[in-house]
Amino acid sequence: MSRLEQLQREFFKALLLPLRGSSRKSTELTPSDEGHAPEFFRIADEIIKPGPELSAAERLELYHRQYWFRILDSLAEDFPVLRRMAGDERFWELIEAYLLERPSQSFTLRHLGEAFADHIEAAPCLDDSRRRWFGGIARIEYAFMKCFECAQSALPEAVDLGDSEIELQEHVQLLRLSYPVDLCWGWQDFTPAEGIEPEIIHIAVWREPSGRSRQERLEAGEVRLLSRLRDGIRLDVLFDELPEPTPSEDDITRWFAKWQGYRWLGVCGKEGAQELDRGIGWEGMDRMSSQAVSMTD
């Protein structure tokens, strides 16, 4: 390992240490008077030169703060419904524990929350019901992120429906959840969930022509057909070998018309282009949220 690689590893190790000092007070995490671990100061002294106004540890703290402020903000922005349902205190507790357990592993922040649902479903700070509710919400909200960058295959034309294998577009995510968590999008807090019994639901999350993500609950029979379309299949084979219980012709006609209208179907092996609806704008902005302030007040 080269000297540069060693420095990079040590630097990243320091960034992953918990947020401490006055930097923590600039976030929405639970306040703490606990200072940095000795490991932080050791790394600072070994790889950072002090400046005329800041010590080695204070200079390292600027990078440490930048890293944590960025990933905290990014993850919070990806899970707004979970934040509303969990409440701020519990939400930030879940986020911090997750990021300490599983730091960023990708060049893009879009993948930061890919294991957040798994973490929530094992979180000791939640009861079993909230683990399942909050985990389900997180799965839907991460699917919004995942479908954004998926490839687009060509939309089928009339001739393709008879001659080609038809597939489910990659950006269409099919989720099976143990609570009706899609209801949370219409709630202001978690109170309405109290007393609701577990219920298996199926959700589709997909990317609209606008580039935005959307979700909709699916019927069980619909899911069985869509699952067979995932890897591609000729439609005559699909409809000749219908899964049990066999759906009615009316159901199949209704589902197929919806799939076509939502642009869920594609032609296997035929690349398509995402045709964005430029008439629909984007809202919100990306925030860095870091501030260059001293480690002490």
- What HEC string does 136-177 produce? HHHHHHHHHHHHHCCCCECCCCHHHHHHCEEEECCCCEEEEE
Which phi and psi (to 5°) does residue 207 adopt? -100, 125
* CATH architecture designation of domain 79-267: Alpha-Beta Complex (3.90)
CA distance 149 to 172: 11
pLDDT digits (tens, 9 = 90+) for 240-279: 888 888 899 999 999 999 999 999 999 998 887 666 555 5
- Show me where the domains of the chain are located: 1-76, 79-267
pLDDT digits (tens, 9 = 90+) for 124-183: 999 999 999 999 999 999 999 999 888 899 999 989 888 899 999 999 999 999 999 999
Q: Burial, 51: exposed, middle or buried (Cβ in 10 Å; 0-12, 13-18, 19+)?
A: exposed
E strands in the chain: 165-168, 173-177, 201-207, 213-218, 233-234, 265-267
Stated pTM of the model: 0.87
Tokens of 257: 């018309």
CA angle 18, 97, 80 (to 5 degrees): 115
CA 231 → CA 65, 151, 228, 259, 266, distances in Å?
Answer: 44, 14, 7, 16, 11
Assess whether pLDDT exceeds 80 at residue 289: no
CA angle 34, 36, 41 (to 5 degrees): 155
Residues in the chain: 297
Contacts of residue 84, Cβ cutoff 8 Å, sequence gap at least 6: 184, 187, 188, 189
From the CA atom positions of the chain, what is the Rg in Å? 24
Assess whether pLDDT exceeds 80 at residue 191: yes
pLDDT digits (tens, 9 = 90+) for 83-128: 999 999 999 999 999 999 998 888 888 899 999 999 999 999 999 9
